[in-house]
Amino acid sequence: MPKHKRTPSHRPSRLATATATAVALTGGLLTLTATTATTATAAPKAPAAPATQPDDADFNGDGAADLATSAPHANVSGKDKAGQVVVTYGGTQQRHVTYSQNSAGVPGTAEKGDIFGADTAYGDFDSDGYDDLAVGAIGEDVGSDADGGTVQVLWGSPSGLSGGSTITDPRPTKHDGFGGPLQAGDFDGDGKDDLAVAAASGAATIDIFDGGIKRSGATGGRYSVLPPIHSGEGAGAFNLHSGDVNGDGKDDLLVDGYSTADDYNANLWLPGSANGVTTNGVQRLPAGYITDVGDTDGDGYGDVIIGLTWDDGIDGAHKGGTVYVVKGNANGPYGDSQAITQDTAGVPGGGETGDSFGAELDLGDINGDGHLDLVVGTPGENLDGVTDAGSVTVIYGAADGSGLSTKGAALYSQNSPGVPNSNEKNDFFGHDVHIDDLNGDGRGDVIAGASGENGSNGAFYTLTSHTDGTLKGTTGTYTSTVGISSSGTPRLGTNFAD
């Protein structure tokens, strides 16, 4: 039996409410305990020079970043857990549009348990200059295949996402949950965005649709890779991420699952090549479900950021959770490794059992100094006696460009000045985190999901980056804000597209 069986408390946040087993999330994170942590909001002052954000979607081509946020358990027309996705179109006047399978042009029909929005990924799949959004509906019944799952691409246009196409599952009946997880990337370096699709249960095989996707649903091609992870119920690929680690101009694929070598959780680096993703030269990295890739030290190679939330019981674990920074070089992720915990000098708070520091993370330039910063979600954080209120920590890139530095790191909770609302039990603030320059000022704004807000209705909070380096928001985005039913447990803020 694989070690660290994927119980709800250890599931990746992007899929934490996406599958049948994850419905029991309240039996996982809700049981976490920790002592009071210290909140700090000081941040380094930002230089005036703006920086291009590396990870922003633009669905309508207006040059402003857009954000896609899932409410995968949303009730749609009386259908529980049908699922919805909210797109926030950035710019001077930001607006929200909510999509479901009942929206005009979106394939299918909203049905009970579809879990539309279980995972999402964006890329310009048809090469028309507008980003598109791939949405997994992992509970979709496909013909007689119950819970087989499906993937739908919503197409970008000058007016935003409009219409959609279905990506055909190449192996129906062989697994459940096709479409969870998803990840886009240019794995063969041909300038076209490819889409990697795994299944939430049953299969380790990952399908990669390459050479572009047409609005008919046809793809330029498809191939599959079988990384050395276990298949079977509760196994398969738990998380996917992409980025150019070895600097060869082709995105590599990071796959998380139970290693066939020893049954423990592991992240595996699968290099991109002229023929796409390959298992030749696969490299094992530290465990931890959530990853990101970015060049934190400016050396031209992507560094792999890993969130390992376990308190103990697996190599590399630390009480409260650990973030690993694995440096890339020309041979892949073989460089030095940096470990960051809440007990690291400069990081606010302290490592406490069940914090889940690193449950989510994202890279971007928050203070506009041209260096990547890191935001880390800690949804199990107890603050001032409030259980699982949650927090986010910002770790800034060093001014000399040497990489991430914990000096001046800042912790934000809903009791921090400038953060809307207040700490409440089981909010899980930081359930997902994202950096997007929504207002186009050259500084990345931090968006924090709180999937447990208002009795698991969920919410997300946009914290705008200011010239003094601090983050401030004026209001949250709630189910009532975006027209999502409060029936059941929508869990808005579960997942942000990346």
> Of the candidates 386, 436, 437, which has an alpha carbon nearest to the alpha carbon of residue 414?
386
Alpha helices in 207-264 (DSSP H): none
pTM of the model: 0.90
**What is the number of helices (H) and of strands (E) in the chain?**
2, 29
- The residues near 147 (Cβ < 8 Å, ≥ 6 apart) are 20, 113, 138, 139, 140, 141, 176, 177
For residues 410, 183, 451, 259, the Cα torsion angle rounded to the nearest 10 degrees is -90
**What is the Cα Rg of the chain in Å?**
20
Q: Which positions of the chain have pLDDT values less than 50? A: 1-53
Local structure of residue 348 (DSSP, 8 states): S
Q: What is the pLDDT of residue 34?
A: 30
Mapped onto helix, strand or coil, the DSSP state of residue 30 is helix
| Helix or strand holding residue 438 (H, E) | none
Backbone phi, then psi, for 453, in 5-degree steps? Answer: -60, 140
Give me the residue label for tokens 């949650």.
390
Res 11: pLDDT:
32
b/e sequence 188-208, b meaning 16+ C-beta within 10 Å: beeebbbbbbbbbbbbbbbbb
Provide the H-helix boundaries in 67-115: none
What span, in angstroms and rounded, lies between the C-alpha atoms of 220 and 211? Answer: 4
CA atoms of 308 and 396, how far apart (whole Å)? 20
DSSP 31: G
pLDDT the model gives residue 40 = 36
pLDDT at 43: 36
Q: What is the structure's pLDDT at 124?
A: 97
Alpha-carbon distance 45 to 430, whole Å? 23
What's the CA gap between 141 and 144, in Å, rounded?
Answer: 7
The pLDDT value recorded for residue 173 is: 87
What are the φ and ψ backbone dihedral angles of 373, each rounded to 5 degrees? Answer: -115, 165
Phi/psi of residue 213, nearest 5 degrees: -125, 130
Report angle CA 101, 202, 31 to the nearest 5 degrees. Answer: 80
* pLDDT value at residue 54: 54
Q: Residue 233 has what pLDDT?
A: 85
Max Cα–Cα distance, the chain, nearest Å: 58
259: left (phi over 0), alpha (psi -120 to 50) or beta: beta
The per-residue pLDDT for 377 is 98
Tell me the DSSP string of 125-168.
Answer: TT-SSS-EEEEEETT--BTTBTT--EEEEEPP-TTS---EEEEP
**Which amino acid would we find at residue 425?**
K
Q: Which of 304, 211, 290 is nearest to 252 (CA)?
A: 304
DSSP 489: -
Q: In what order do the strands lie in the sheet with 206-213?
A: 176-185, 194-201, 206-213, 219-225
Sign of CA dihedral 313, 316, 317, 323: negative
